[in-house]
Amino acid sequence: MLIFYAGHGTWNSKVNKGYWLPSDAQLNNTSNWIRNSTISGYISGIPSRHTLLIADACFSGGIFKTRSISESPESIQRIYELPSRKAMTSGILSEVPDKSVFIEFFTKRLIENEEKYITAEQLFYSFKPAVINNSENIPQYGTIKNAGDEGGDFIFMRK
């Protein structure tokens, strides 16, 4: 399952929590804000083998427990067999611009890709330097905290 969110987010440094702000959210009323931990809870309940969250929103990096910089596994099949709950975000705990350099390079790399199979991790690291070199953002890729990840990855299959 691929979940894509482009919108507003915020970070509350007093409680160290990040939030998504849906279209009906109000800055002075948190009742419609969605905590990152709630998103993680929903993702952990999705009965998919692989779930990839792509978030292009301010402070979206707050979804992570840790950031993953591990080497790619040897086999696409092995990666596919293990459940995964990963996320790509357009930035860390900071604001991101409305015109998304992140989405620009994400889609460009998908279009340019000639491999039959590419992991979300491989795709991410193919465009991360371009985003850093063309914006103030530092995109992130990693495991979603407490959501059932077992080390697999989302696989994009070229049709």
Distance CA 111, CA 130 (A): 15
Averaged pLDDT, 28-44: 87
Predicted local distance difference test score (pLDDT) of residue 20: 86
Average pLDDT across the chain, whole number: 83
Query: Domain 2-157: which topology?
Result: Rossmann fold (3.40.50)
Model pLDDT, residue 133: 96
Q: Give the mean model confidence (pLDDT) for residues 75-84.
A: 82
Closest alpha carbon to 87 in 145, 25, 126: 145
Residue 33 pLDDT > 70: yes
For residue range 45-64, list pLDDT tens digits in order.
999 999 998 887 766 666 66
Task: Report domain extents, the chain.
Answer: 2-157
Distance from C-alpha of 120 to C-alpha of 68, rounded to nearest angstrom: 12
Phi and psi of 18, rounded to 5°? Answer: -105, 155
